[in-house]
Amino acid sequence: MKKNALIVGATGFGGLGLIEILLRHPGITIKQLVARRDVGMRINDVFPHLTGFCELPVQSNDDIDYSDIDIAFFSTPDRAGMTLIEKFIEKSIPVIDFSGDFRFNSTDDYALYAKNKGMETTHHAASALPKTVYGLPELYSEKIRHANIVGNPGCFAICMILGLLPAVKEKLIDTETIICDGKTGVSGAGKNPGETNFYPQRYEDVNTYREGTHQHLVEVENVLSSEGGNYKVFFVPQIVPLNRGILITAYGKTQKGIHTKDVEEIYRQFYKQAPFVFITNRSCHTTDVRGSNRCEIRVTVDERTGTLFITSVIDNLVKGQSGNAVQCANLMLGFDETAGLQVPPFYP
C-alpha cells in the first residue's frame, strides 16, 4: 500500500527536489504541501514546469492534517521547523529534516554548529536530540531504518564524508593533515535572489567563503572521529559558475608503501553494498552525476609527495539533499533503498 508524504518548505529548491523524485516513486504519494510563502497558490503557479504533474495547493502550518501522513519531510531553514517537528514526533509520524537542527545528538554539538553559522545556539527541542539519527544511509542504514527523526546531512558534509570515511576507517590518513577544497554550484544558496546567485556577478566569478569555518565541518569531524582518532579538517568552500554540483578535492598525508590500487580496493569493499556510490579511476566530472543520486569517488596515492588524494562528486540538490532524504525515507518505510531514485544523470 502506498505511503503518504507531507512536505514542509515545499516552495524552496529542497521541496521541489522532493516533489520531482516522489512523483516517480512507486510507493509514496505526495499528500500535502506546506510553506510560509505562497500559501493558497497551487504549487504549479510557483513552479510552472510542474503543471500537469503536481498541482496541489500550498497550505500553511495551521492547516496540516496529521491524520493520514506516513512521513514528513522538512525542507525548512535552520530553526524554522524545530518546534513543529516535535508535534510530528508526538504523533509518531517519522520526520526527515533538511536543516542542521537534528543532525546532532547533543546540544553542545548543535551549539557549535549554530555558532559557526552565526545563529542563536539554544535548541528548542533538546529532548529529541539523543534519538535523532544522522541520515547518511551508506553508514547508518540500520539506525535509519528504525529512526523516528532523521537529520538529513549538509550537502558538503555528504560529499566529504563519503569521500573520506573508508580511508579514515582504515587509518590511511594522518589525523592532522586533512584538507578539503570544495566547489559548489550556485543552486546551493537556495531560492532567494541575493549576491551569491546574482547572474552579472556570478557568471564569471569563482570565490572562496567561510574559509575554515563552514558549519558542515562539525558534522564531518564528528563522523570521522566516531571511528576513533580526533580528526580535524581544514575546509574551504568555493562557489563556481555552475548551477548544480559539488566536487570535493580532499588531501591528506599517507604512509609509505600504500598504493592507489590498495586504496581503490578498500573503497570498493567499503561501498560494495552502497547502490549510489561508484568508485572510478577516471577524473571526476560533475556532469557524470547531475540530476542523479549518485556519488562518484576517485582515490589516488601520489607517491612523490606522500599524498592520498580523493575526489568526490555529487549533485548538491539530489544526493546532497532531496535524493538522500528519499533514500532515508525508503529505509524508514521499508521500501527498496533505491525506489524512485534509479534515474540516470541528466546530460547534456
Subset of residues 203 to 262 that bind a second copy, contact rule: CB under 8 A: 203-209, 211-212, 232-234, 236, 238, 240-245, 247, 249, 251, 253
Q: What are phi and psi of 190, to 5 degrees?
A: 85, -170
User: What torsion do the CA atoms of 156, 159, 165, 168 make, to the nearest 10 degrees?
Assistant: -60
Q: Which of 90, 195, 256, 257 binds a second copy (CB under 8 A)?
A: 195
The grid coordinates listed for 295 are 556519488
Q: What are phi and psi of 204, to 5 degrees?
A: -130, 35
Which is nearer to a second copy, 152 or 311 (by Cβ)? 311
- Rounded (10°) angle between helices 107-116 and 216-225: 140
Q: What is the C-alpha to C-alpha distance for residues 180 and 309, in angstroms, rounded to an integer?
A: 10
Which is nearer to a second copy, 147 or 247 (by Cβ)? 247
Return the residues of window 64-103 that contact a second copy according to CB under 8 A: none
Of the candidates 23, 14, 160, the one whose C-alpha atom is nearest the C-alpha of residue 99 is 14
Q: Is 23 in the site for a second copy (CB under 8 A)?
A: yes
Q: Is 292 in the site for a second copy (CB under 8 A)?
A: yes
Q: Which of 90, 194, 257, 272 binds a second copy (CB under 8 A)?
A: 194
Of the candidates 9, 11, 13, 6, the one whose C-alpha atom is nearest the C-alpha of residue 322 is 13
In the complex, what is the shortest distance from the CB of residue 280 to a second copy, in angstroms, rounded to a whole number? 8
- Rounded (10°) angle between helices 137-145 and 155-169: 100
In the complex, what is the shortest distance from the CB of residue 135 to a second copy, in angstroms, rounded to a whole number? 23
Over its C-alpha atoms, the chain yields an Rg (Å, rounded) of 20
Q: What is the C-alpha to C-alpha distance for residues 326 and 150, in angstroms, rounded to an integer?
A: 11
Q: Is 199 in the site for a second copy (CB under 8 A)?
A: yes
Which is nearer to a second copy, 66 or 209 (by Cβ)? 209
Which is nearer to a second copy, 40 or 348 (by Cβ)? 348
Q: What is the C-alpha to C-alpha distance for residues 102 and 327, in angstroms, rounded to an integer?
A: 17
Which is nearer to a second copy, 135 or 185 (by Cβ)? 185
Return the residues of window 121-180 that contact a second copy according to CB under 8 A: 176-177, 179
Q: What are phi and psi of 300, to 5 degrees?
A: -145, 140
Alpha-carbon distances, residue 244 vs 276, 294, 337 (angstroms) = 18, 13, 23
Contact flags string 26-65 toward a second copy, x per CB under 8 A: ---------------------xxxxxxxx-----------
Q: Which of 5, 7, 10, 16 binds a second copy (CB under 8 A)?
A: 16
One of 155, 159, 284, 295 is an active-site residue; which one?
Answer: 155
Which is nearer to a second copy, 60 or 201 (by Cβ)? 201
Q: Is 20 in the site for a second copy (CB under 8 A)?
A: yes
Please confirm, yes or no, whether 155 is among the known catalytic residues: yes
Q: What angle do CA 170, 176, 181 make, to 5 degrees?
A: 90
In the complex, what is the shortest distance from the CB of residue 82 to a second copy, in angstroms, rounded to a whole number? 27
Q: Is 34 helix (H, G, I), strand (E, B) or coil?
A: strand
In the complex, what is the shortest distance from the CB of residue 201 to a second copy, in angstroms, rounded to a whole number? 6
Q: Which of 117, 143, 268, 278 binds a second copy (CB under 8 A)?
A: 278
Point out the residues that are catalytic.
155
